[in-house]
Amino acid sequence: METGSTIVGLGRYVPERVITNRELARTIDTTDEWIRRHTGIRERRVAAPHEASSDLAYGAAREALEAAGAGPSDLDLIVAGTATPDMLFPSVSCLLQDRLGARSVGCLDVACACSSFVYGLSIAHGAIVSGQADTVLVVGADTLSRITNWRDRSTCVLFGDAAGAAVLRRAKPGSGFLSFALGGSGQGRHHLHLKAGGSRHPASRETVERGDHFLWMNGPEVYKVAVQTMPRAAADALRRARLVAEDVDFVIPHQANLRIIHSVSDRLGVPTEKFFINVQRYGNTSAASIPVALYEAVGAGRVSAGDVGVMVAFGAGYTWGACTIRWGGAA
């Protein structure tokens, strides 16, 4: 690519409230041992009653802007990935624009569930390389705790709330994002969805009584497709950048489940030591999982200028997405 884009600032916001496995085991029929063995998760964060996704997004966005040395008025586009917007409309990106005090720039929400952040990066990259924008904010923010059935042990142990953000700007040739590989298949809609509250099943007493406003998932089926699709998407992104597994210095996978991450490592042929993993502390935070992990990987010194990295996501839809990046290189 002649003109590129790269990440120049990262931010994260995680709610204060921690719920451990042991605490969950006091209200549902589960154990710390079962959850750790099947998922790797030890604890997760849950938003305070007054916090919605745009509040989490705001905390992450402020930090990312500060790290980028940019102000809200520098933004040319705001992209927010979320499956749990504050309300059906207006979008989280519009709420964020107002709260940040940004100019009246384009505001766009991306509804690709756990893949939303990678899709958002792709949109931001496209806007920069096509000359539509110089500085773009991409946020992944979700409060899955609000759509979780806390009595369903097969799902409530898996998720947590968080937000992560990145500011993108132009990159020197050969630096920053090198490739994207996005995909989707609506055939997966039967295995992971939230049935009611949209135009097909508007909210009613019956939908509430049936529990149709909770996330529903066929876990084993989603697992099977995730472990096949994530390595394929990552390999596709590598191929598009003319890279091979040996070139990879770090991988930021969607943090859904430790067993999925190990399987992706095996199938992709990149050692697990190169994967940054924090699912133990946050569970699956959906759109926030990749930016929060990237933020922590950079903070932990696991990512240096010039390193080649892969981010890879899979989520409801189904949707999936991967990208490669040569870290740093702001123009």
104, 299 Cβ separation under 8 angstroms: no
178, 326 Cβ separation under 8 angstroms: yes
| Binds ligand ACO (CB under 6 A): choice among 42, 62, 153, 213 | 153
Range 241-280, binding ligand ACO (CB under 6 A): 254, 256-257
> What is the nearest approach in angstroms of ligand ACO to the Cβ of residue 331?
34
Q: Please say which residue, 118 or 226, places its beta carbon nearer to ligand ACO.
A: 226
Piece in contact with ligand ACO (CB under 6 A), picked from 29-37, 75-83, 98-106, 268-276: 29-37
**Residue 287: CB atoms within 10 Å:** 37
Task: Name the active-site residue from 94, 125, 284, 323.
Answer: 284
CA distance 331 to 175: 9
Active site residue 94: no
Task: Name the active-site residue from 94, 114, 156, 323.
Answer: 114
| Binds ligand ACO (CB under 6 A): choice among 226, 264, 279, 311 | 226
| Binds ligand ACO (CB under 6 A): choice among 30, 91, 116, 135 | 30
In the block, tokens 């979320």 appear at 82
Q: State yes or no: residue 154 binds ligand ACO (CB under 6 A).
A: yes
223, 217 Cβ separation under 8 angstroms: no
327, 304 Cβ separation under 8 angstroms: yes
Range 91-120, binding ligand ACO (CB under 6 A): 114
> What is the nearest approach in angstroms of ligand ACO to the Cβ of residue 14?
18
| Binds ligand ACO (CB under 6 A): choice among 9, 176, 315, 317 | 315
Give 20's strand partners: 43
**Residue 33: CB atoms within 10 Å:** 10
Q: State yes or no: residue 301 binds ligand ACO (CB under 6 A).
A: no
Q: What is the CA 316 to chain-centroid distance, rounded?
A: 12
Q: State yes or no: residue 158 binds ligand ACO (CB under 6 A).
A: yes
Q: Please say which residue, 176 or 317, places its beta carbon nearer to ligand ACO.
A: 317
Active site residue 114: yes
CA distance 264 to 226: 9
Cα-based distances in Å from 272 to 12, 201, 261, 276, 287: 24, 42, 8, 8, 22
Where do the H-state alpha helices sit in the chain?
21-24, 32-39, 53-68, 92-100, 116-129, 153-156, 205-209, 219-240, 258-268, 279-282, 289-299
Binding string, residues 185-214; x marks residues near ligand ACO by CB under 6 A: -------x----------------------
Active site residue 193: no
Q: Which residues are catalytic?
A: 114, 254, 284
Residues that bind ligand ACO (CB under 6 A): 30, 34-35, 38-39, 114, 153-154, 157-158, 192, 217, 219-220, 222-223, 226, 254, 256-257, 284, 314-315
